[in-house]
Amino acid sequence: MGAKSGAEYVERLNAEPREVWIHGERVEGNISEHPAFRNVIASMARLYDMQCDPALRDEMTFEEDGQRYGMSWLVPRTHDDLVRRGHMMRRWAQTSFGMMGRTSDYLNVAITAMAQASAYFAGNHPSYAENIQAYYAYARDRDLTLTHTLISPQVNRAVNVGKLQDPYIAARVVEKNSRGVVIRGARLLATQGPIADEILVFPSTVLRNTEEDAPYSFAFAIPSATPGLRYICRESFDYGRSHFDHPLGSRFEEMDAIVVFDDVLVPWERIFLLEDAERCNQLHQATHAVVHMTYQVMHKNIAKCEFLLGLAESMVDAIGIGQFQHVKEKVAEIILALETMKAFLRASEADASLDEYGVMTPAWAPLNAARNLFPKTYPRLVEIIQQLGASGLMAIPTEADWHSEIRGDLERFLQGRNIDAYQRLKLFRLAWDAALSSFGSRQVLYERFFFGDPVRMYGALYDSYDKAPYVSRVKAFLDGESE
């Protein structure tokens, strides 16, 4: 019990078969051996192994009542606790260059925050407070790997899900009985769903508080191996090629899956909210879970910016374009993005305070600004990699070509200014995988919509931000001018 190793993570996945469909076939046997999942599972396992490394133990875990737990389960009570937990997040994020957006710490901190805010759930039903607290302890003690799903299928966004011709397209309550709640329908889009121990089914936060919305209003958690629960995967972007050919996709391809609930029974003790649209809509903000989740995301985003800066400068040096002003301007854009994200993170830590539940919580304003800015920033950073690489991102023969009889041509024509052809080819294949491959394109789409519709997010920022003090200053100045 407590912080698990990579081997324990893999063993648990294989011991708990779940229904996963990919490329028209159901996954049979050990999921850790399936071509679409084995590499990302290995990458996840390496993260868990860091918890068991004696040299990293105090950075990656904490001790409570004689037991070691993963640091992402720590309830931060002090500023030092918050920063300490952040160091662990940064370590994990840098391991994948920020390319794994759903490492376990993302949802671990959400459940941790929600458990401390159990009074919020009690407002729906007293037992739900006990449920969320018990679930936190259960998940922490077993160091569960969690996925989550939020969104209803995109069938007809012009009408509410309750008005669709088929009321069971979007996941909804079918019935309630003595054992629990039966759910039927589908949700989008569980990243890492097939390789997670359990799934958190959270509210979409855009529910209307009407009677017809009540059956679609809930929050609960169930094992991925629950009968009737089905994951339908998109095409894998890990094509079974070597790390040379697909250096990122062959390591960090997080699968996204449609989640189908075929009359799934959710036990009462796993229900956190039910048939309370207003409380569902406010869940993430009221419990401050979104603040802690965004704080984790900032560490990912910083790692991503650091990677792209290192990648860009390596390309500049390899082909000798650093003397051009437009190149310096482009790389400087990446530097600005990196330093901006770091400043947002530091500001959130500096202005952190205890919330009403006694949890040291990062300041929301800088994090909220950062999460609105990055969806527009990341596509531009990827565009810069494309512009710097230009035709070089198309002149990228494969590892098989390198080991063929045309190797002499590659050694001659693909060499760089101060780098041999083999290293230059590896570098530019890395840049291609970050900026142009299916894996890289998915990363751009993922960042564009990480927290939802960017326009809706900007609107929410406008509505929630306290602009009155600044308006008052302008008014005071104008009133003074008229005197």
CATH of residue 392: 1.20.140.10
What tens digit of pLDDT does each residue of 175-218 get?
999 999 999 999 999 999 999 999 999 987 667 767 788 999 99
Q: Is the model more confident about 452 or about 235?
A: 235
Is the bond into 200 cis (omega within 30 degrees of 0)?
no
Whether residue 268 is found in the same domain as residue 293: no
Look at residue 482 and tell me whether its pLDDT is greater than 70.
no
pLDDT at residue 162, rounded to an integer = 79
Contact between 257 and 194 (Cβ < 8 Å): yes
Q: How far is CA 379 from the centre of its chain?
A: 17
Domain count, the chain: 2
Residue 369 belongs to some domain of the structure: yes
Residue 482 belongs to some domain of the structure: no
Look at residue 413 and tell me whether its pLDDT is greater than 80.
yes
pLDDT at residue 210, rounded to an integer = 76
Cα–Cα–Cα angle for 185, 187, 192, rounded to 5 degrees? 135
Whether residue 24 is found in the same domain as residue 65: yes
79-103 CB burial, b ≥16 within 10 A, e <16: eebbebbbebbbbbbbbbbbbbbbb
What tens digit of pLDDT does each residue of 30-50 get?
999 999 999 999 999 999 999
Is 112 annotated to bind a ligand? Reply is no
Is 155 annotated to bind a ligand? Reply is yes
**pLDDT over 90, % of the chain:** 93
Give CA–CA dist 216/168, Å, rounded: 10
Whether residue 121 is found in the same domain as residue 213: yes
Last residue of one domain, picked from the residues 283, 307, 336: 283
What tens digit of pLDDT does each residue of 458-478 get?
999 999 999 999 999 999 999
Is 276 annotated to bind a ligand? Reply is no
- 172 beta partners: 184
Residue 478 belongs to some domain of the structure: no
What tens digit of pLDDT does each residue of 283-320 get?
999 999 999 999 999 999 999 999 999 999 999 999 99
Is 157 annotated to bind a ligand? Reply is yes
Is 80 annotated to bind a ligand? Reply is no
Whether residue 368 is found in the same domain as residue 258: no
Whether residue 249 is found in the same domain as residue 163: yes
Is 91 annotated to bind a ligand? Reply is no
pTM for the whole thing? Answer: 0.96
Closest by CA to 346, choosing from 419, 295, 386, 407, is 295
Last residue of one domain, picked from the residues 232, 251, 283: 283
> What average pLDDT does the segment 106-118 reach?
98
Contact between 129 and 122 (Cβ < 8 Å): yes
The three-state DSSP-derived secondary structure of the chain is: CCCCCHHHHHHHHHHCCCEEEECCEECCCCHHHCCCCHHHHHHHHHHHHHHCCCCCHHHHEEEECCEEEEHHHCCCCCHHHHHHHHHHHHHHHHHCCCCCCCCCHHHHHHHHHHHHCHHHHHCCCHHHHHHHHHHHHHHHHHCCCEEEECECCCCCCCCCHHHCCCCCCECEEEEECCCEEEEEEEEEEEECHHHCCEEEECCCCCCCCCHHHHHHCEEEEEECCCCCEEEEECCCCCCCCCCCCCCCHHHHCCCEEEEEEEEEEEEHHHEEEECCHHHHHCHHHHCCHHHHHHHHHHHHHHHHHHHHHHHHHHHHHHHCCCCCHHHHHHHHHHHHHHHHHHHHHHHHHHCCEECCCCCEECCHHHHHHHHHHHHHHHHHHHHHHHHHHHHHHCCCCCHHHHCCCCHHHHHHHCCCCCCCHHHHHHHHHHHHHHHCCHHHHHHHHHHHCCCCCHHHHHHHHHHHCCCHHHHHHHHHHHHHHHC
Question: Which two three-digit tokens encode residue 173?
Answer: 């309550």
Last residue of one domain, picked from the residues 283, 305, 323: 283
Look at residue 425 and tell me whether its pLDDT is greater than 80.
yes
Hey, what amino acid is at 379?
A: P
Residue 481 belongs to some domain of the structure: no
Is 398 annotated to bind a ligand? Reply is no
Is 154 annotated to bind a ligand? Reply is yes
Is 103 annotated to bind a ligand? Reply is yes
Question: Which two three-digit tokens encode residue 314?
Answer: 């390596």
Residue 303 belongs to some domain of the structure: yes
Residue 465 belongs to some domain of the structure: yes
Hey, what amino acid is at 354?
A: L
> What average pLDDT does the segment 379-386 reach?
98
Give CA–CA dist 370/341, Å, rounded: 7
Look at residue 369 and tell me whether its pLDDT is greater than 60.
yes
Look at residue 380 and tell me whether its pLDDT is greater than 70.
yes
Torsions phi, psi for 82 (to 5 deg): -65, -50
pLDDT at residue 483, rounded to an integer = 57
Whether residue 134 is found in the same domain as residue 252: yes
Distances (CA, A) of 104 to 39, 138, 151, 161: 17, 15, 20, 30
Closest by CA to 92, choosing from 344, 300, 337, 329, is 300
Is 145 annotated to bind a ligand? Reply is no
Whether residue 378 is found in the same domain as residue 325: yes
Whether residue 110 is found in the same domain as residue 194: yes
What's the full length of the chain, in residues?
Answer: 483
Is 61 annotated to bind a ligand? Reply is no
Is 191 annotated to bind a ligand? Reply is yes
Whether residue 297 is found in the same domain as residue 265: no
Question: Which two three-digit tokens encode residue 83?
Answer: 């920063």
Give CA–CA dist 448/443, Å, rounded: 9
Closest by CA to 149, choosing from 235, 257, 270, 232, is 257
Is 377 annotated to bind a ligand? Reply is no
Whether residue 102 is found in the same domain as residue 116: yes
Residue 73 belongs to some domain of the structure: yes
Chain-wide mean pLDDT for the chain? 96
Confidence of residue 160 (pLDDT cuts 50, 70, 90): confident
Is 167 annotated to bind a ligand? Reply is no
Show the domain range for 455: 288-472
Is 105 annotated to bind a ligand? Reply is yes
> What average pLDDT does the segment 92-105 reach?
97
Name the pairing type of β-strands 146-149 and 198-201. parallel
CATH of the domain at 187: 2.40.110.10
Residue 340 belongs to some domain of the structure: yes
Whether residue 304 is found in the same domain as residue 216: no
Whether residue 318 is found in the same domain as residue 462: yes
| Residue whose token pair is 């648990």 | 12
> What average pLDDT does the segment 136-157 reach?
94
